[in-house]
Amino acid sequence: MFAARRVTKLFGRVPVVRELDLELEPGRCHVIFGRNGAGKSTLLQIAATLLQPSSGDLYYDGRLVSELGSSVRDLIGFVSHQSFVYADLTVRENLEFYGQIYGRSRDVDELLAWSELTLRQHSPARSLSRGMQQRLTIARALLHEPKLLLLDEPFTGLDALSGDRLSELILQTKGRDTTIALATHDIERGVALADRVLLMEAGRIVFDATGATSEEVRRLLLEADTL
């Protein structure tokens, strides 16, 4: 679905992503761990085409992003630290509005039920709890049925129950053959969701494996300075 080849991103003269090679496999959940400043968010923003790499190439479905142009964004759903929902619009109005922007949309009632927001569909988004807002944000990102879903710290600020529900929704999304890349500091939840575990340090992928345990990830994070 997505591949990066020798991708580097500089901010000024500081490299945040360094000659990184990565392939995201279709229909799998790739969970990226790493300390603050490791380059996780920058990598996801590059994959979402919100940041241009300083060098290197990006591919979607085997084609260069430069060949696909703006149409590549039809393949991508991106959830960042900001919700990008309109606080004064109701839950339903937010989804309907974004559906109009995309020009095509999954059924709004289906997404409301999926995100367990049907009973709050006429409430303004500003009245929702943090967990509900996060579910609305992910429902918005799935409106145009993206093939690639990028999630940057989706569990931040959620209580245990909201986090559990969000994990269930992510698993259901993967079940629709959507490729997922998720950056998180939540080791337990991340490992439980992961088909593939990656660790970033200083802008590089320093660990890439299936079947990693929480204990192994913790050890690797502690040893990151020496990797």
Could you report the per-residue pLDDT of 56-78, keeping only the tens digit for each?
Answer: 999 998 899 988 888 888 889 99
> When comparing pLDDT for 44 and 102, which is higher?
44
CB 178 within 8 A of CB 146: yes
**pLDDT-wise least confident of 52-56, 153-157, 175-179:** 175-179
**pTM of the complete model beyond 0.75:** yes
- Angle between the N-to-C axes of helices 130-141 and 160-174, in degrees from 0 to 180, rounded to the nearest 10: 10
Residue 73, pLDDT score: 85
* Chain centroid, CA 120 distance in Å: 25
Indicate the pLDDT class of residue 223, thresholds 50, 70 and 90. confident
User: What pLDDT digit, counting tens, does each position of 118-130 carry?
Assistant: 999 999 999 999 8
* The dihedral formed by the CA atoms of 168, 171, 172 and 178, expressed in degrees to the nearest 10: 150
CB 192 within 8 A of CB 41: no
| Per-chain mean pLDDT for the chain | 91
Q: How far apart are CA 91 and CA 132, in angstroms?
A: 10
User: What pLDDT digit, counting tens, does each position of 1-26 carry?
Assistant: 799 999 999 999 999 999 999 999 99
Alpha carbons within 13 angstroms on the beta-carbon side of residue 58 total 23
Decide if pLDDT at 187 tops 90.
yes
Residue 225, pLDDT score: 57
SS3 state at 112: helix
CB 142 within 8 A of CB 105: no
Decide if pLDDT at 227 tops 60.
no
Residue 226, pLDDT score: 47
- pLDDT above 70 coverage of the chain, percent: 98
Decide if pLDDT at 104 tops 70.
no
Full set of structural domains in the chain with CATH: 2-226 (3.40.50.300)
User: What pLDDT digit, counting tens, does each position of 129-138 carry?
Assistant: 988 998 999 9
Decide if pLDDT at 155 tops 60.
yes
SS3 state at 34: coil
| Contacts for 223 with CB less than 8 Å, ≥ 6 apart | none
Residue 109, pLDDT score: 94
Q: How far apart are CA 13 and CA 55, in angstroms?
A: 13
In sequence order, the β-bridge partners of residue 17 are: 9
CB 42 within 8 A of CB 50: no
Residues counted in the chain: 227
